[in-house]
A and B are shown apart, each in its own frame.
Chain A
Amino acid sequence: MTATATTVRADCAADPAGALTFDLAPAATVPGPEAVLLLRRRGGAGTTVRLPLTSTAPGRLRAVLPPSADVPEGRWDAYVEEPGSDHTLTVLPGLRDLRALVDRTPDTGTATIRSRVPYPTLDGRLALRCWVRAPHAEAGAIRVGPSGMSAEGELYGVEVGEGAVVEARLPGEPARVHRVPLTASGQPGGFAFTLPYAPLAEGPVTEERLWRLWVIPSPGAKAVRISRILDDVWSREHTFVYPGRPVADGVRATPCYSAANDLCVRLTPPAA
């Protein structure tokens, strides 16, 4: 053990109302009464959120992130900072009791959907994945047909109007857009669409293409990105995996999620 600790472990818990608590484990170096939990947005040029640490028992400190707190979308690294000292502690993930995040079903009238999932980074630190969507399109079940995919989902903060469509967009190629009709389904906010793969595979597919899917609730309305963020899975890229289908000449199309949990269709070129 070094004389000065550089890390502190924190247990996290989510409550049904959407608050997150961070309980620091008792450590050799107990932060002083002025210490705060510092969240620093990755790649966010100095964007920070500071949460006061309050004592819940001798040697035990807790920070609370209330549901209404304004934490912009992104990945946030956690530190414990002592004002007036340049010594910050890196926070390590302890127990993450996130059962309250599983299968969240907010009211579809909710204007702003916030989702926050504490997670362990690959190098073993505690981070927080935050989404802020207003409005929001949540993806649900995905069916994979022989030549296309169908998906169900819910819209939050906006209603499906006449002429609603799902738009597939290819980042970097704004001219390439494919639209399919979006239909309202049974339950409030519910929607469904079917997207054939063939148009997405037009032109020679020489490298991987990742089509992103957006809902346009009515003509001229702001596009709503389709994602899946209402649970405890901070990155579903490798866990919510769907079968691929051949489209043409060795090209395969596969519904998938990006590391940021956005719904996509991936086209892979023929194996060289």
Chain B
Amino acid sequence: MHISFLLHNAYGIGGTIRTTFTLARTLAEQHDVEIVSVFRHREAPAFGTPDGVTLRHLVDTRKKSATYDGDDAEHARPATVFPRGDSRHKQYSKLTDARIAAHLQRLEADVVVGTRPGLNVHISRQTRRGPVRVGQEHLTLDNHGYRLRREIAHRYTLLDALTTVTRADAEDYRSRMKLPGVRIEAIPNAVPEPACPPAGGDLKWVVAAGRLHRVKRYDLLVRAFAQVAAVRPDWRLRIYGGADASGDEKTTLRALIDQLDLHNHVFLMGSATPLEAEWPKGSIAAVTSDRESFGMTIVEAMRGGLPVVATDCPHGPVEIIEDGTDGRLVPKGDTDAIAAALLQLIEDDGLRHRMGRAALSASERFDPARIAERHERLYTELIAQGARRRGHGPVRTALHRTRGTVLDGAYALRYKAADVLRKGKSA
């Protein structure tokens, strides 16, 4: 089958890009797969073009390129199709509205897959009759603001399916959104088997990884490690990850490490590429976030043979870790519980090794081949159902579009009113 992914920017760095590349590469072993990137800001994708996948772009933002689109007058006008509630709205424009529309209206594919809410809306509204329309949710419904949830509620109804990365989020979509006729399915992200052998489990290091952002709650981990180091000063902690653009968490963590006198035990390692070679330098991984839409690092660590101590935060960890078997789940925000779980695995070599082996085998279910198969099965079933049975023939589409336009007008007015109110308050 011919599968066409629509991605915000295939040339950047990020979890959605990485996971889309992994899925596309795996599907391309059997199918005709393309990735259409709305933007292109550099020559080559940071992650390299996935093998066997055709990559193209719609809007060229390379300043030195002969086909640079940044000066197009339409690009200066705000997007109206791409929803305002999507956090990327500012990057979109009348030009992207038109380019994406033209792409979707002549798309020769069996399946078109959107990879963020704004693009799912484009696909829902603008895809010509024929291709199966699938939206992917890489974050979670409750992560989205009120405006985006409203937009999703009335725009996603013309999708054939929506995939989430956790069962919890799929359940949220089913119970909180009225999306009749839209199949909602949870398919976790794929993580390839690392190219190096699994961890031996005897190096006395705990490893954590992820951008240094407050949501990751490294402060909890550092505090918990003060308790660990008091009992087992021979164990140490490496935190991999670059400073995050949204805040100076690195300085905060540095100060905390100094304050707790942990400079011989806790190290901020900066970012490491590829990360898969760093997991086996430790014997336990820790993920102490307040929220994880999925929990990619948990799976990466498990695929490297490490048992993971993770907080039971929404949504991913509980669907990845089986507490006490292949890792430990502890209450969110509980420093003592994190310390106790780490110490349990540090003090009991046999348990640590057993859980590491269990993590290795349990995480095989996230192998790209198995995950791609689930997407493939979904697409195949949707194609088999045919456009008519999928419930949105031309009449319903037209009706919905009309209703959509009316609602658009209503929303626009309401937001304008809200803006005026806000401005009035701040003045």
Task: Please give the residue numbers on chain A whose beta carbons come within 8 Å of chain B beta carbons, in ascending order.
Answer: 11, 13, 95-99, 102-103, 120, 141-144, 232, 238-243
CA distance A142 to B265 in the complex (A): 11
| B281–A99 CB distance below 8 A | yes
> 10 shortest A-B CB distances, which residue pairs?
A243-B258, A97-B196, A141-B264, A99-B280, A102-B281, A99-B281, A242-B263, A95-B195, A95-B277, A97-B277
* Residues of B contacting A102 in the complex (Cβ-Cβ under 8 angstroms): 203, 205, 281
Instruction: Report B427 CB to chain A, min CB distance, Å.
Output: 39
State how many angstroms separate the Cβ of A12 from the closest Cβ of chain B: 9
For the complex, is B270 an interface residue (Cβ under 8 Å from A)?
yes
Interface string of B137-164 (1 = CB under 8 A from A): 0000000000000000000000000000
Residue on A with the closest CB to B236? A103
A95 and B254 in contact (CB under 8 A), knowing A144-B263, A241-B263? no
Q: In the docked arrangement, what's the CA distance between A144 and B257, Å? A: 13
Kindly list chain A residues whose C-beta atoms are within 8 Å of the C-beta of B264.
141-143
Q: Is the CB of A240 within 8 A of B277?
A: no
A99–B254 alpha-carbon span in the complex (Å): 25
Report if A241-B277 is in contact (Cβ < 8 Å); known contacts: A95-B195, A142-B264, A144-B263: no
- CB-CB under 8 A from A120, the residues of chain B are 273
Given the contacts A95-B195, A99-B200, A241 and B254 also touching, CB distance less than 8 Å: yes
A-B interface pairs (CB < 8 A), number: 45
Cβ of B267 and Cβ of A240 under 8 Å apart? Answer: yes
Q: Which of A95, A99, A239 has the most CB of B within 10 A?
A: A99
Instruction: Please state if B270 and A96 are interface contacts (CB–CB under 8 Å).
Output: no
Q: What B residues does A144 contact at CB under 8 A?
A: 263
B interface vs A, CB < 8 Å? Answer: 195-197, 199-200, 203-205, 254, 258, 263-264, 267-270, 273-274, 276-277, 280-281
Closest CB-CB distance, B239 to chain A, in whole Å? 10
B277–A103 touching, CB < 8 Å? no
User: Once the chains are docked, how many angstroms separate the CA of A240 from the CA of B265?
Assistant: 10
- Which chain B residue lies CB-closest to A243? B258
List A contacts of B270 (CB < 8 A): 238-239
User: B195 and A99: CB pair below 8 A?
Assistant: no
How far apart are the CA atoms of A241 and B254 in the complex, in Å? 9
The answer to whether A97 touches B254, judged by C-beta atoms less than 8 angstroms apart, is no
Residue B204 contacts which of A96, A103, A142 (CB distance < 8 angstroms)?
Answer: A103
The answer to whether A243 and B203 touch across the interface, beta carbons within 8 angstroms, is no
From B195, B269, B276, B277, contact of A98 by CB (8 A): B277
Note all chain B residues with C-beta closer than 8 A to A99.
Answer: 199-200, 203, 277, 280-281
Q: What residues on A are CB-neighbors of B254 within 8 Å?
A: 241
Residues of A within 8 A of B268 (CB): 239, 241
A178 to chain B, nearest CB (A): 23
Among B197, B203, B264, B269: residue with most chain A CB under 10 A:
B264
Q: List 20 extra interface pairs beyond A103-B203, A243-B263, CB under 8 A.
A: A11-B195, A13-B196, A95-B274, A96-B277, A97-B280, A98-B277, A99-B277, A99-B280, A99-B281, A103-B204, A120-B273, A141-B264, A142-B264, A232-B281, A239-B270, A240-B263, A241-B254, A241-B263, A241-B268, A243-B258
Residues of chain A lying within 8 A (CB to CB) of residue B280 = 97, 99
Per the bound structure, the CA–CA distance linking A120 and B273 in Å amounts to 9
| B273 to A, closest residue via Cβ | A120
Interchain nearest-CB distance for A130 vs B (Å): 20
| Nearest-neighbor residue (CB-CB) of A103 within chain B | B203
Question: Could you tell me the distance between the alpha carbons of A238 and B269 in the complex, rounded to whole angstroms?
Answer: 8
Nearest CB on A from B21, distance (A): 17
Distance A259 CA – B404 CA, assembled complex (angstroms): 60
The residue in B197, B258, B277 that gathers the most chain A C-beta atoms within 10 A of its C-beta is: B277
Residues of A within 8 A of B196 (CB): 13, 95, 97
Question: Which chain B positions have C-beta within 8 A of A98?
Answer: 277, 281
Contacts of A239 in B (CB 8 A): 267-270
Q: Which residue of A lies closest to B199 (CB)?
A: A99
Which residues from A are CB-within-8-Å of B276?
A: 95
26 A-B pairs (CB sep. < 8 Å)? A95-B195, A95-B196, A95-B274, A95-B276, A95-B277, A98-B277, A98-B281, A99-B199, A99-B280, A99-B281, A102-B203, A103-B203, A103-B204, A120-B273, A141-B264, A142-B264, A238-B270, A239-B267, A239-B268, A239-B269, A240-B263, A240-B267, A241-B254, A241-B268, A242-B263, A243-B258
Inter-chain contacts of A96 with B (CB < 8 A) = 277
